[in-house]
């Protein structure tokens, strides 16, 4: 059932909702950028290690065996 909008809805609730939306946007964009940069850094580190750049025990993926440990 529809109800008519009051002055309180138009002049108080709607602007507060828009302000809250902008606040969420300002909060979400830096988090999105940070998580993207972190993902790229981890992928770059994995790529660097798999090429033998890091001091690991092996120089590639581990061998897979079908035997139980």
Residue 53: inside a domain: no
pLDDT at 61: 62
Residue 46 has a pLDDT of 92
Asked whether residue 29 is assigned to any structural domain, the reply reads yes
- Please, are residues 49 and 42 in contact by the beta-carbon 8 Å criterion? no
Residue linked to tokens 């690991």: 56
Q: Is residue 69 part of a domain?
A: no
In a domain, 57, yes or no: no
Residue 30 lies in a domain: yes
Mention every residue, 6+ apart, whose C-beta is less than 8 A from residue 52.
59
Which residues have a Cβ under 8 Å from the Cβ of 48 and sit 6 or more positions away? 54
pLDDT digit string (tens) for the chain, length 69 residues: 899 999 999 999 999 999 999 999 999 999 999 999 999 999 999 998 888 776 555 555 667 777 776
Q: Hey, what are 42's tokens? A: 């981890």
Domain range for residue 29? 8-48
The whole-model pTM stands at 0.57
Assigned token pair, 24:
């969420």
Establish if 44 belongs to a structural domain: yes
- Domain assignment present for residue 19? The answer is yes
Q: Is residue 32 part of a domain?
A: yes
Which tokens belong to 3? 């109800």
């Amino acid at each position: 059932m529809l109800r008519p909008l009051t002055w309180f809805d138009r002049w108080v609730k709607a602007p507060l909702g828009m302000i809250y939306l902008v606040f969420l946007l300002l909060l979400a964009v830096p988090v999105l950028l940070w998580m993207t940069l972190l993902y790229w850094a981890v992928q770059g580190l994995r790529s660097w290690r798999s090429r033998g750049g890091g001091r690991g025990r092996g120089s590639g993926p581990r061998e897979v065996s079908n035997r139980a440990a």
